[in-house]
Amino acid sequence: MDKTIIAKNINNVLTETDFQELGERKIGKVRDSYFSEDRVVIITTDRQSAFDRVLAAIPFKGQVLNQVSIWWFEQTKDIIPNYVLATPDSNVTIGKRCEVLPIEVVVRGYLTGSTSTSIWVNYKKGERKFGGITLEDGLSKNTKLPKNIITPTTKFEEHDRNITADDIFNEDMMNKKDWEYIGSKALELFSFGQEIASEHGLILVDTKYEFGKDKDGNIILIDEIHTPDSSRYWLADTYEKNISEGREPDNIDKEFLRLWFKENCDPYNDKELPEAPDDLVIELSSRYIQLYEMITGEVFKFSSQPILERLEKNLRTV
């Protein structure tokens, strides 16, 4: 990939927005959302977060995330309706305002992960029951599960918590009918995503889905789908060889940037963080773009127009 365009746009990044005429603003780690009575305008910025703070701004990242989601929403609309109404800008999605259901539906196809809620970390601690299946002893990290499973987590608590279907009912988070519908659709979406990813040289390892109810009470898919931020992808052509040799699967992710900060500061406690080197920022941008092109099979379209200027123009008629 020619990184010249990325280098020229290293400062042409979107880090914050202020379009209060669009509605009540809520700022997330990466996206700024504006809520009105019946819709939400979601602007995906170029913020790169980790360690519960923003590390850097990555050119074209917001465009990649938004457009990957839009591509997948279009591919999966026959499986389940989604909230998308319009995309007036490559960084913007306008969606139906919904009642957000309080469960993140995490679907996993492989025994992997490094966080406290991940299946591999809990397997190492001795847990064997996950998502309705019981795993045998002696399994290795990064191996394929006997079948795709759902390991739901809470959404609105301070720290994500692994829960079971019984927890969902006992804690009155959702009724059985809705949960069974969501679970079946999540598995269908994931299976379809794995099939498409495989055709494009990738393995869709795991992901999360979020659902909401529209004003008519219909359950629809919201938020994002199969993006590099919400999903883990591995490169398919080297997977078997790496596993047989005891190495980690090849992936295209942001881990190298996280490691740089851990080596050069205390990202959890330091008040001021060093600036990420330009070469790392450019490399991460190119990886996001590479994933976009692999996932969608389409050539990424660069826009070198000043991003805030472009946004202001495209949002005037929203």
Q: What letters, b where the CB count within 10 A reaches 16 and e where it falls short, cover 142-162?
A: beebeebbbbbbbbeeeebeb
Q: Which amino acid is at 49?
A: S
Angle (CA) 57-61-63 rounded to 5° is: 130
Looking at the domain that runs over 100-244, which CATH code has it been given? 3.30.470.20
Q: What is the pLDDT of residue 260?
A: 92
Place of tokens 């509605």: 23
Identify the pLDDT of residue 101. Answer: 95
CA distance 183 to 149: 10
Mean pLDDT score, 246-267:
89
Which CATH superfamily hosts domain 4-98+253-314?
Phosphorylase Kinase; domain 1 (3.30.200.20)
For residue 147, which phi and psi values (nearest 5 degrees)? -160, 160
Confidence of residue 82 (pLDDT cuts 50, 70, 90): very high
CA dihedral for 16, 22, 26, 32, sign (positive or negative): negative
pLDDT at 109: 97
Mean pLDDT of the chain: 94
Condensed to tens digits (0 to 9), the pLDDT of residues 202-211 reads 999 999 999 9
Mention every residue, 6+ apart, whose C-beta is less than 8 A from residue 121.
113, 114, 115
- Picking from 257, 260, 261, 249, the residue whose alpha carbon sits closest to that of residue 282 is 257
Q: In the chain, which residue ranges form alpha helices assigned H by DSSP?
A: 4-8, 61-76, 119-124, 165-170, 176-199, 239-244, 255-264, 278-296, 307-314
Q: For residues 146 and 70, give the distance between their C-alpha atoms in angstroms, rounded to a whole number.
A: 31
Contacts of 307 (CB under 8 A, 6+ apart): 12, 13, 14, 46, 91
Residues in the chain: 318
Cα 196 from Cα 139, distance rounded (Å): 27
Burial 48-77 (b: 16+ CB within 10 A, else e): bebbeebbbbbbbbbbbbbbbbbbbbebbe
In this prediction, residues 266-294 reach a mean pLDDT of 94
pLDDT range class, residue 318, cuts 50, 70, 90: confident
Per-residue confidence (pLDDT) for residue 236, from 0 to 100: 97
pLDDT bracket for residue 218 (50, 70, 90): very high
pLDDT band at 158 (very low <50, low <70, confident <90, very high): low
**AA identity, residue 179:** W
Distance in angstroms (rounded) separating the CA atoms of residues 72 and 65: 11
For 114-128, 150-164, 224-238, 275-289, which range has the lowest pLDDT when averaged over its residues? Answer: 150-164
Pairing assessment for the beta strands 103-110 and 202-213 based on DSSP bridges: antiparallel
Q: Which two tokens stand for residue 221?
A: 């898919």
Q: Using DSSP, state whether 27 is helix, strand or coil.
A: strand
pLDDT given at position 100: 95
β-strand pairing of 53-57 with 24-27:
unpaired
Domain boundaries of the chain, sorted by first residue: 4-98+253-314, 100-244
| 202 sits in which H/E element | strand 202-213
Q: What pLDDT sits at residue 117?
A: 78
Highest mean pLDDT among 41-45, 51-55, 257-261: 41-45
| 5-52 tens-digit pLDDT | 999 999 999 999 999 999 999 999 999 999 999 999 999 999 998 888
pLDDT interval class at 53 (50, 70, 90): confident
pLDDT at 1 over 80: no
pTM greater than 0.85: yes
- pLDDT given at position 253: 82
Distance from chain centroid for Cα 285 = 16
